[in-house]
Every structure is written in structure tokens, then in C-alpha cells.
A and B are shown apart, each in its own frame.
Chain A
Amino acid sequence: MADPRRSPLAHLAEPLAATGIMRELPYLSSFEVRGDPAEPAMARLGAALFPGPLLAASWPTAGHAAGTGPRYALWCGPGWYLLVDEPGSALAEAMADDLPGVSAVDVSAGRTVVELSGPHAREVLAHGCALDLHPRVFGPGSCARTNLAKAQVILHQTASTTYRVFVGASFADYLARWLLDAAVEYIRGEPVDQ
């Protein structure tokens, strides 16, 4: 049976692809986790989610992401993290244990992700973001909750020229159209009608 789901930016897939800069990453799993990283339950959850030598540093510090590969945690605020993984991942199973003092809520359906990549990705974002995105300040592994255009987003730089923009599903259409407009000057040829 075909996948009955419809992602928030499915209707803009074609113009996004035509820019050569952007694409939607739909249906990523995400959990909002709240808890004091000094608590044993948070340390246990961190160790379960990110097995390996990074045990002590499994929860990110301010303004940073932790974990590499498809599963990582973004720092949103003190004691507040967004866990992200591939669509249909087993994140929920890691939360199944009894974790006193930790709150974890599945927010996968609340947001979608626009990924910008290529040499112009940073310039496109900078058109609408007041943060200093220069690599000296905001490099790979950095993340920030901020405003992009007029939408509240979580910005995450995954590689030297690749950014993920987490945006609320109801804001996704607005933000994607704004990004398409911001990207016009970097596109070769005529933009595709939206």
C-alpha cells in the first residue's frame, strides 16, 4: 500500500528541487526531552541513545549539537533538547524505560525540515536570519533556536555548507516560499512557478 502520509512541503517539492539548494527532509523522528543533564536518569538516557565513548558528553552544551550521523541531540535551552533521528527510528524504545525527572514527548509530526546545502546555503539563510552565521561563529555542529524570516525555527549546521532548518508544519509553506524567493538570485536559469 502506498504511503498515505503527505508532508507539509510535498506541494513545493519541485520548485525546491529546482533551486539546487533546498529539499525537504520529511518525517524525521524527533523528541523534545527535558531534564537536568546532571541527573542520573538523563545520563542513563544519554548512554542508551548514544552508546560509545561519548558517555559523559552525550547531551550537548549551549548552542551545539551532540552525536554524529542520523541520530543527534540539539540544545534548545537549559535542560531542554531536541532529539532527532531518521524517519521511523527506534527513538521511542529508548524512552520506554522508567526515567524519573525526565520528560520526553514525541514531536515528530510537529515540524518538518528544510535542508539547504551548497556554497550559497549560508547566504540564503542570512537574508532572513539575524544570527551571525559566519563559520568563525556558527560552524558545523552549531545549532540555535531563532527566527528565520518571521518563522520560529531551529537552525542546525550539519556540515560545512549544509544546514537543516526545523520549522513548524503550519509555518513550513510560508518559510519555504520565503526561502524560494530568497534563493532566486543564486539560481541558474528561470525559477520554477510555485
Chain B
Amino acid sequence: MLSVPCPWCGPRDETEFKYGGQAHVAYPSDPAALSDAEWASYLFLRDNPKGWFAERWFHSAGCRRWFDVVRHTVTYEFAPGVTP
């Protein structure tokens, strides 16, 4: 069980959260101009690093806010300094 550091509620059990995937995936500025491959890449392709990974979490059972954290995908350690 992960203890996810919610920036509003403090550390809570993973079961209170929904996982939101990779953070900082920007919506294309002109989606209509993208080729199918580029659109599919935006929709489906995500980084899969071994190491530190910025990701989104949603505190669904608590304050119901989205926030970003940086987590290590090997040690499951959360980096300090979460950003709302």
C-alpha cells in the first residue's frame, strides 16, 4: 500500500486515490492539424521510466482535488514538494 502525500489532506492510503497517469502531458495547441499518428501518440503513448516519474493523482475519497507528485517507479518513494 502506498501512502500518497496529498498536498491538502496530508499522507493518505492509496485506496483513497485514483491514479491519473503521467503529468504534464499538454493538450495539442491545434488538434485538427495533427496527423493520425501524432494524435494517437498524444492519446496513448506515455513515458515509462525506470526511476523518477511525474504523475497525477486524484484524491477521490478526500478533498477531491487533482495534484502532481514525483514518484520513483522502482522504490515507490515520493519526492518531497508536491504541487497542487
Contacts and interface: CB of A to CB of B under 8 A. Distances in A.
B12 A62 contact: no
Nearest to A145: B62
Contacts, number: 37
A130 interface: yes
Contact of B63 (A130, A131, A145): A145
Interface string A146-161: 1100001000000000
Interface residues of B, number: 13
Contact of A130 (B10, B15, B64, B84): B15
A174 B44 CA distance: 39
B15 A147 contact: yes
Interface string A54-72: 0000000011000000000
| B contacts with A: majority SS | loop
Contacts of A146: 12, 16, 61-62
B10 A78 contact: no
A22 interface: no
B64 A147 contact: no
B74 interface: no
B65 A77 contact: yes
B38 interface: no
Contacts of B16: 130, 146-147
A114 interface: no
Interface string A125-150: 00000110000000000001111000
Contacts of B65: 77-78
A62 B9 contact: yes
Interface in A147-190: 147, 152
Interface in B26-84: 61-65, 84
Nearest to B14: A130
A131 B11 CA distance: 9
B15 A152 contact: no
Contact of A77 (B10, B13, B62): B62
A105 to B, nearest CB: 15
Interface string A8-47: 0000000000000000000000000000000000000000
Given A62-B8, A144-B9, A146-B12, A77 B61 contact: no
A134 to B, nearest CB: 14
6 smallest A-B Cβ distances: which pairs? A77-B63, A130-B13, A145-B62, A147-B61, A152-B61, A78-B8
Interface of A: 62-63, 76-78, 80, 130-131, 144-147, 152
9 contacts: A77-B63, A77-B64, A77-B65, A78-B63, A130-B13, A130-B15, A131-B12, A145-B61, A152-B61
